Structure 1
Amino acid sequence: MNKTLKIHNKSDKPYNIVLKENNLIEKCIKLENELPDFMKDFFIYLKSAVVTSTRLAYIEDISFFCKYLISETNLTKAKTLKDITIDEFDNIKARDINLFLGDYCSRYYKKTEKDVLIFENHNRALARKKSSLSSLFKFLYRNEQIKQNITDGFNPIKLPKPQPDAIKRLEVDEVAKMLDAVETGEGLTEKEKIYWKKTKLRDKAILILFVTYGLRLSELRELNISSFNFSRGEFKIFRKRGKEVLMPLNKTCELVIKNYINNERPNSELIDDEHKDALFLSLQNKRITIRAIRELVKKYTSIAMQISRKNGYSPHKLRATSATSLIQYGFSIYDVQNLLDHDNVTTTQLYAAHKKNVKREIVKNFEWLDDEIKNED
């Protein structure tokens, strides 16, 4: 008999945020139970050292490495992940890790019943796997479970330095075209217009929230009706690392959200209890999916830029659009850093580089001898 999972939520976090966190924790526990017992102390360390999403990513990487040990090497005699021993881990050398990252991970194969699938990892993915394994081996050494710290021998993985010119975002006039498209339906196919008539107020609210606040995709999806306090002119979002943040609500966003709630969003009696508080709903009256948000952003950005649907932008490009637009309107990089929740101001500075000819404009409008210059002219 299947038992229904019920969460006793004593915090002031909404149910959907608690449920999302719990789902990640359940995945972590499942993988941890499959891995060797000698890693238990490391798993306890991860609980308090990193956020849950990072914890899951680390455990997934370690599980992948252990499967590699069994299927591709002679470094263990184990037949299952649970059977790998600490003595076998103690015999692993830096060279073994470098072969795993540099040779196997960069391109590997998986056989299914019908196909052979080819997987490739580029440097960013390899760097994350290296970080996961470095954390594990350093911990085992500090915990006196292995005799040597082999991590100093791991090969460096160079990541490309972000270039301002490579940052994709919409120009101000393209944002206007995007919002016109969602308002009028112009540029949509006849099939798309059928759905547009039912969701245009929702889609408009989603796009305006993205370009105004530079919200992350997960932050926008998890918004609830209860997140908004219209009388105070603010709304609450839950950011990375469990941060709870109050955001000021401007008139434009208040207008489009209220318009959607009052004129398009289904009445609460038509919605299951699980989704009653969700702000943005699908046509099935469920909380909108990550995939659906990506598709609608791709659709409207492609219309704005007059390119094919498949080349339309992701929600993260609207985050970049928000950042560059705010800086071009004159807000400081520190204000924009705070609004977008960048860990480091250097990330925000990349968007500042898009302010075209900024040095020329500053100097041109800052003449100390303005009267003399005019006389010479």
Structure 2
Amino acid sequence: MNKKLKIHNKSDKPYNIVLKENNLIERCIEIEKELPNFMKDFFVYLKNAVVNSTRLAYMEDILFFCKYLVSETDLTKAQIPKDITVDEFDNIKARDVNLFLGDYCSRYYKKTENNILVFENNNRALARKKSSLSSLFKFLYRNEQINQNITDGFNPIKLPKPQPDAIKRLEVDEVARMLDAVETGQGLTEKEKIYWKKTKLRDKAILVLFVTYGLRLSELRELNISSFNFSRGEFKIFRKRGKEVLMPLNKTCELVIKDYINIERSNSESIADEHKDALFLSIQNKRMTLRAIRELVKKYTSIAMQTSRENGYSPHKLRATSATSLIQYGFSIYDVQNLLDHDNVTTTQLYAAHKKNVKREIVKNFEWLEDEIK
């Protein structure tokens, strides 16, 4: 008999955030069971060194590497990753890891019942796998489990430098067209209009929050009704690395959220307990999935840009839209960095490069001899 998981939450975090963290931890535990016992100390180290999402990513990469050792090399006699020994790991050379990253990972195949699937990793994905393996090998060496630190011999992986012109975002007039589409239904198919009539206030609130605050997709999905304190004019979001942040609530956002809650959102009696506090609900009265929000954004941005649904933008492009719009309205890159939670101001500077005619505007508004030129 399957038992339903119940979490005794003693923190001030909402249940959905605690449940999300628990799901990450449970997945880490499952992967740990598949990996060799000699890595146990490394798993303990990860628990305290990185956030759970990073911990999971590292463990998935390491499991992938161990499966590669078993199925594609003669570096181990093990039939499953669990049986790989520390002595076999100690015999792995930098060249072996470089072949894994540079040759195997860049393009590999998986057989299913009916198909052969081809997978490719770009340099960013390869760099993450390299980082995961570097952390593991460095730890095992530092922990005196292997005799050499082979990570200095790992080949560099060049990442393309982000270019301002490559940043995709909506122009100001396209944002207006997007919000007009969600208001009027113009540009939607007849089938889409059936759902639009039931969800237009919800969709409008989602889009306004995205373009106002540049929220990440997960940050928006996890919003609750209890996240908002309308009397104080603020709401709480949970960012990467477990950060809790209070955001000021402007009049536009307050209006669209209240309209959605008071007019369109289902009453609590018809909602299951686990979804009662969720701000954005699906038609089935469940917290919206990440995929549903992505599709919603893609639909309305495609209308704004007058392109096909397939070419619509992701929520991250609305984050870029928010950043460039704020900078064009005159806010400093440091203010925008703070609002969007960029780790490094150089990320924000990429959006600042979109500010049109910035040099001309600066010089035009900085005349020393105004009286003479008049």
The verdict on a shared fold, with TM-score over 0.5 as the criterion, is: yes
- Taking structure 2 as the reference length, the TM-score comes to 0.99
Partner residue, 1:364: 364
Partner residue, 1:17: 17
Corresponding residue pairs, total: 374
Partner amino acid, structure 2, of 1:141: Y
Report deviation, 1:33.
1.1
Unaligned runs of 5+ in 1: none
C-alpha RMSD of matched pairs (Å) = 0.6
C-alpha distance in structure 1 between counterparts of 2:313 and 2:290, whole Å: 14
1:50-78, Cα deviation, whole Å (9 max, x unpaired): 00000000000000000000000000000
Report deviation, 1:171.
0.7
The reply on whether 1:8 has 2:8 as its aligned counterpart is yes
C-alpha distance in structure 1 between counterparts of 2:69 and 2:295, whole Å: 39
Partner residue, 1:350: 350
Secondary structure in structure 2 of the residue aligned to 1:110: strand
1:64-213 matches, within 5 Å, as: 64-213=64-213
C-alpha distance in structure 2 between counterparts of 1:167 and 1:4, whole Å: 44
Partner residue, 2:249: 249
Partner residue, 2:316: 316
Partner amino acid, structure 2, of 1:101: L
Partner amino acid, structure 2, of 1:285: N
Report deviation, 1:370.
2.3
Partner amino acid, structure 1, of 2:40: K
Partner amino acid, structure 2, of 1:199: T
C-alpha distance in structure 2 between counterparts of 1:80 and 1:354, whole Å: 51
C-alpha distance in structure 2 between counterparts of 1:302 and 1:4, whole Å: 41
- Percent of aligned pairs with the same amino acid: 90
C-alpha distance in structure 1 between counterparts of 2:136 and 2:365, whole Å: 56
Partner residue, 1:304: 304
C-alpha distance in structure 2 between counterparts of 1:132 and 1:329, whole Å: 40
1:96-149, Cα deviation, whole Å (9 max, x unpaired): 000000000000001111111100001000000000000000000000000000
Report deviation, 1:371.
2.7
Partner residue, 1:229: 229
1:263-342 matches, within 5 Å, as: 263-342=263-342
Secondary structure in structure 2 of the residue aligned to 1:237: strand
Secondary structure in structure 2 of the residue aligned to 1:160: coil
Report deviation, 1:372.
2.4
| Runs (4+) off by over 2 Å | 370-374
C-alpha distance in structure 2 between counterparts of 1:241 and 1:123, whole Å: 24
Report deviation, 1:366.
1.2
Unaligned runs of 5+ in 2: none
C-alpha distance in structure 2 between counterparts of 1:138 and 1:38, whole Å: 14
C-alpha distance in structure 1 between counterparts of 2:12 and 2:225, whole Å: 15
- Taking structure 1 as the reference length, the TM-score comes to 0.99
Partner amino acid, structure 1, of 2:274: E
